[in-house]
């Protein structure tokens, strides 16, 4: 069994084996031991060791001598639990934990510091006293060289810091320290922290004049000897003594169990039926980590979201962590009937709760705050500051040192506190599952008819707000014969929730709770909230916010975010809680002119921006003719078609909600215009069911407002969407039993669109409707009707792109009829019409059509060339869907040419492009590739 070896560096370098001292060797040998020990197991390089032993003048053969010293040390350590290892370019000395007095000293000082931050000042004094007792000299005594001298200075600084900590802890416990401090100040006259401690100790002993003399003596010494003025800490102590700061005479309580200390226990009742909040509880638990040790933490969130419930739930479960008590103060920051509590008055409450009588409470805010911090020093107290209004109200109430914790709740995010180190978490509404659980707990799980659908509807109506759910639950508990479905029917909107959840007690009246937050806003911020509330019920971006408010000042948005009336959901995205929006809309209704102006600007923004994106997305379409937007309405103009597609995809939800808002406000003209823009994107993204539903809303709006153009556009859009969804215009994809009905509906809508366009002299728009009419036709459509529609479209317009599209469709129509001669001629004519344009996408479509005709005519080789050109052109234009379709056609051409390998390759490439689309070509490719794989097997 190996012997234990220990080392001492805090004095002469010494070592012991099993308690018996052994010689450490020559001064250079001791220098080697010291350096290796101070590296704490890390490798010390040969150069470092040489410099430590001989500074910059190593003797001849220094490396050999160093190896001799290492060899001697290894012999000294042979058979012990320590060893010297050879590392990369040097040596490392590995020792057992706690076997070096320097490490013991640093551990004891660290423990003493932590105990001093907590409640155990007696333990802190003991640990620091033990640490200082390890010193037997100056450190590294007798070891030569610059390295040893530098380390000696470092160790002496640590010794002095530990001494100061010990005396400060003794002073806080009321122990007599003046004699020791006087001696230390005489030995270290330039150490200002020791002089400040001596001044405080003298003042505490009733020797105010001596304390002032001590300051002046130090000030003269610094000036005469060093030409310096006293530092901030020393000047501050002097000023506090001049002002007779009462906190200087306060003795902090110790952790001695025999000491009688008032232990407040003021927490309100625990929260029953607490639900969820796992993430936030984990955050709160982390506050207890000694490494973090914050003095303050904030739970913020909108009114009724459960901030106080969370704080109380966590506090009750961690009472044992704060053995010196729990304080509670309602700061009344958002109270319906009383003014916010003044911090001076709050300090009186807190000080008296800590056992300091009113007679000893100072008059000024700063003095009270200082006395409060001193009273908390050395204790572990939880201070729950509920319902704070702002940082100014809270700041004087925060503990001054770790150990105690102020847990704050506020509707405001209190940014000023967070900037200075307050930990924080922002509370959101409950998720659907937790919301349902809370509702059931409050209603009683045995409540009649608690069906899941109605339960989910109530949770959605309450928008996950715990206060609203608790109120509904309590009412259901009192009326157990009322089914959930009945209540769900009553709570069909946010406005209905506010009406239904009124109560004589304003603390549980949801409308009243929300009003307190709004009433704390300044006039301009409240107006901005009301203007934002008119926006559609969906997240919105900065451009929409600026449009609704007619302002470009983002600081107002951040004011509402800090007040928890608005939520930032992204770098430029915001959202408003449904019930906040409902209440703000009620306030806005009291100012109809402001409200209508905000709605008008918002609609101009959404329609104008969506129209700009649609023009880029579909440049061949006839754009909307819009009036000049109202002043303050911001129009977003995407840079190109890709950016337009992205903007429409990101704003799909809010644009759909804008349509609903326009309908609800009776703005039917805007409703069909928004429909036209959004449905264009839905067509591109192949959301056909959504598009059909939206077109129907737009058509109804156009009919209500009597807009002929609106009716024409929505009839056209509805006809196209129904035609595509039913598979019309796609050979081989007709739905049995429904095709003729779909054809009739599509034909009716498109025919009506043409008639309406012509009635208001819009032949170009009519031409596009005719192209659609000739494109989406089912099995029951007469062939001459298709040709007539497409030919008439060409006659009505002089646009080459429209001509090419009509001729393309006509070529496909002739191919379907088997008239391949006319099909070829028509396809070539389409390409000829496009030769005068730079429309690369239209040329790609025409080339693809020519390939279809060529393949049908048996010319597979020519078809492969056409399909290849078309696919490449679509790829250049980043039109992946049409690129995939052309590649699928190319696969058919390769197969017809007798090259199944090439066919399979391009079909696989096409399927990769079409995999996530709703295009029936993708299903056909899957079948073909599956059959091909089966045949190969």
Closest to 617 measured CA to CA, from 684, 670, 712: 684
The model's confidence at residue 697, banded by pLDDT at 50, 70 and 90, is very high
pLDDT tens, 400-457? 877 889 999 998 888 888 888 888 888 888 888 888 888 888 877 565 456 778 777 7
Whether residue 369 contacts residue 347, with contact meaning beta carbons closer than 8 Å, is answered with yes
Higher pLDDT, 343 or 205: 343
The two three-digit tokens of residue 617, written as one number: 């997305």
The rounded distance, in Å, linking the Cα atoms of 453 and 465 is 18
How confident is the model at residue 358, as a pLDDT?
72
The rounded distance, in Å, linking the Cα atoms of 890 and 886 is 6
pLDDT tens, 458-482? 888 777 888 877 777 777 777 776 7
149 has a pLDDT exceeding 80: yes
How confident is the model at residue 251, as a pLDDT?
57
Pairing of strands 44-45, 20-22: unpaired
54 has a pLDDT exceeding 80: yes
How confident is the model at residue 493, as a pLDDT?
65
The rounded distance, in Å, linking the Cα atoms of 716 and 346 is 69
How confident is the model at residue 289, as a pLDDT?
80
How confident is the model at residue 620, as a pLDDT?
67
pLDDT tens, 179-229? 888 988 998 898 888 999 999 888 888 888 898 999 999 999 988 888 888
How confident is the model at residue 501, as a pLDDT?
67
Mean of pLDDT values over 918-932: 75
Mean of pLDDT values over 364-392: 85
How confident is the model at residue 335, as a pLDDT?
75
254 has a pLDDT exceeding 50: no
How confident is the model at residue 605, as a pLDDT?
93
Query: How would you label 586-622 residue by residue, b for 16+ Cβ within 10 Å and e otherwise?
Result: bbbeeeeeebebbbbbbbbbbbbbbbbbbbbbbeeeb
How confident is the model at residue 780, as a pLDDT?
45
Query: How would you label 849-882 residue by residue, b for 16+ Cβ within 10 Å and e otherwise?
Result: bbbbbbbbeebbebbbbbbbbbbebbbeeebebb
Mean of pLDDT values over 665-689: 89
Whether residue 751 contacts residue 718, with contact meaning beta carbons closer than 8 Å, is answered with no
- The overall average pLDDT reported for the chain is 83
Higher pLDDT, 693 or 259: 693
Higher pLDDT, 335 or 71: 71
839 has a pLDDT exceeding 50: yes
pLDDT tens, 617-636? 877 667 788 889 999 899 99
Percentages (nearest 5) of helix, strand, coil residues in the chain: 60, 5, 30
Pairing of strands 405-410, 296-300: parallel
845 has a pLDDT exceeding 60: yes
733 has a pLDDT exceeding 60: no
The model's confidence at residue 255, banded by pLDDT at 50, 70 and 90, is very low
Query: The whole model's pTM is what?
Result: 0.61
pLDDT tens, 862-918? 989 999 999 998 888 878 888 888 898 998 999 998 998 988 898 888 888 887 676
């Amino acid at each position: 069994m190996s012997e234990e070896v220990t080392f001492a560096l805090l004095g002469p370098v010494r070592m012991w084996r099993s308690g018996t001292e052994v010689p450490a060797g020559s001064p250079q040998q001791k220098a080697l031991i010291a350096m290796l020990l101070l590296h704490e197991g890390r490798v010390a390089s040969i150069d470092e060791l040489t410099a430590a032993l001989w500074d910059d003048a190593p003797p001849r053969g220094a490396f050999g001598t160093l190896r001799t010293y290492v060899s001697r040390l290894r012999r000294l350590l042979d058979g012990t639990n320590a060893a010297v290892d050879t590392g990369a370019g040097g040596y490392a000395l590995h020792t057992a934990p706690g076997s070096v007095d320097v490490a013991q000293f640093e551990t004891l000082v660290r423990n003493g510091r932590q105990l001093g931050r907590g409640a155990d000042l007696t333990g802190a004094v003991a640990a620091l006293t033990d640490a200082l007792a390890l010193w037997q000299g100056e450190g590294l005594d007798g070891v030569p060289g610059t390295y040893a001298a530098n380390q000696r200075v470092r160790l002496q600084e640590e010794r002095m810091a530990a001494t100061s900590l010990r005396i400060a802890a003794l002073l806080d416990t009321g122990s007599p320290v003046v004699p020791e401090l006087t001696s230390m100040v005489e030995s270290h006259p330039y150490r200002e922290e020791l002089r400040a401690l001596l001044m405080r100790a003298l003042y505490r002993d009733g020797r105010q004049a001596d304390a002032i003399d001590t300051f002046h003596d130090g000030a003269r010494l610094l000036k005469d000897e060093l030409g310096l003025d006293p530092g901030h800490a020393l000047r501050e102590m002097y000023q506090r003594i001049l002002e007779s700061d009462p906190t200087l005479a306060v003795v902090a309580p110790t952790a001695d169990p025999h000491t009688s200390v008032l232990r407040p226990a003021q927490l309100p009742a625990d929260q029953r039926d607490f639900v969820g909040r796992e993430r936030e509880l984990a955050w709160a638990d982390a506050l207890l980590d000694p490494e973090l040790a914050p003095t303050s933490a904030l739970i913020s969130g909108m009114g009724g979201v459960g901030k106080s419930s969370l704080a109380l739930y966590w506090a009750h479960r961690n009472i044992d962590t704060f053995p010196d008590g729990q304080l509670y103060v309602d700061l009344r920051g958002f109270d319906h009937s009383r003014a916010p509590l003044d911090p001076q008055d709050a300090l009186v409450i807190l000080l008296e709760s800590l056992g300091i009588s009113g007679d000893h409470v100072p008059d000024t805010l700063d003095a009270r705050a200082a006395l409060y911090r001193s009273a908390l020093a050395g204790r572990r107290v939880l201070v729950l500051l509920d319902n704070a209004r702002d940082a100014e109200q809270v700041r004087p109430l925060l503990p001054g040192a770790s150990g105690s914790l102020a847990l704050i709740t506020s509707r405001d995010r209190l940014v000023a506190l967070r900037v200075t180190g307050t930990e924080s978490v922002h509370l959101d509404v409950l998720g659907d599952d937790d919301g349902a659980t809370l509702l059931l707990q409050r209603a009683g799980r045995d409540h009649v008819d608690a069906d899941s659908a109605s339960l989910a509807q109530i949770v959605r109506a309450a928008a996950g707000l715990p206060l609203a759910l608790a109120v509904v639950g309590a009412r259901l508990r009192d009326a157990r014969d009322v089914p959930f479905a009945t209540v769900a029917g009553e709570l069909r909107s946010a406005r209905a929730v506010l009406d239904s959840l009124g109560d004589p007690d304003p603390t549980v009246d949801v409308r009243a709770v929300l009003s307190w937050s709004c009433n704390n806003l300044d006039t301009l911020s409240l107006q901005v909230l009301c203007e934002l509330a008119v926006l559609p019920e969906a997240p919105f971006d900065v451009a929409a916010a600026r449009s609704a408010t007619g302002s470009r000042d983002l600081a107002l948005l951040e004011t509402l975010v800090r007040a928890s009336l608005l939520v930032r959901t992204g770098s430029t995205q915001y959202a408003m809680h449904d019930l906040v929006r409902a209440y703000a809309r009620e306030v806005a209704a009291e100012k109809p002119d402001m409200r209508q102006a905000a709605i008008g600007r918002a609609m101009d923004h959404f329609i104008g921006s969506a129209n700009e994106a649609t023009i880029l997305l579909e440049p061949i379409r006839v754009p909307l003719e819009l009036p000049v937007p109202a002043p303050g309405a911001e129009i977003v103009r995407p840079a190109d078609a890709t950016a337009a597609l992205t903007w429409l995809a990101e704003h799909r939800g809010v644009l759909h909600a804008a349509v609903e808002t326009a309908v609800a406000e009776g703005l039917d003209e805007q409703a069909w215009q928004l429909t036209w823009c959004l449905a264009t994107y839905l067509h591109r993204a192949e959301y056909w069911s959504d598009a059909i539903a939206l077109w129907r809303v737009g058509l109804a709006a156009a009919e209500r407002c009597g807009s002929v153009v609106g009716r024409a556009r929505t009839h056209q859009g509805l006809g196209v969407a129904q035609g595509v969804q039913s598979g019309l215009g796609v050979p081989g994809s007709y739905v049995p039993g429904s095709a003729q009905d779909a054809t009739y509906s599509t034909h009716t809508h498109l025919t009506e669109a043409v008639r309406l366009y012509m009635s208001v002299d819009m032949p170009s728009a009519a031409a596009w409707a005719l192209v659609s009419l000739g494109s989406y036709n089912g099995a029951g459509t007469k062939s001459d009707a298709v040709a007539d529609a497409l030919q008439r479209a060409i006659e009505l317009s002089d646009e080459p792109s429209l001509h090419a599209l009509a001729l393309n469709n006509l070529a496909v129509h002739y191919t379907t009829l088997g008239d391949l001669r006319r099909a070829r001629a028509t396809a070539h004519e389409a390409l000829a019409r496009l030769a005068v344009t730079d429309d690369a996408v239209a040329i790609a479509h025409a080339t693809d059509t020519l390939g279809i005709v060529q393949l049908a005519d048996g010319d597979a080789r020519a078809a492969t060339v056409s399909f290849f050109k078309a696919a490449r052109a679509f790829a250049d234009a980043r039109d992946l869907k049409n690129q995939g379709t052309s590649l699928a056609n190319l696969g058919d051409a390769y197969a017809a040419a007798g090259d199944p390998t090439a066919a399979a390759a391009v079909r696989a490439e096409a399927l990769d492009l079409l995999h996530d689309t709703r295009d029936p070509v993708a299903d056909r490719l899957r079948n073909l590739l599956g059959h091909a794989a089966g045949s190969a097997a």
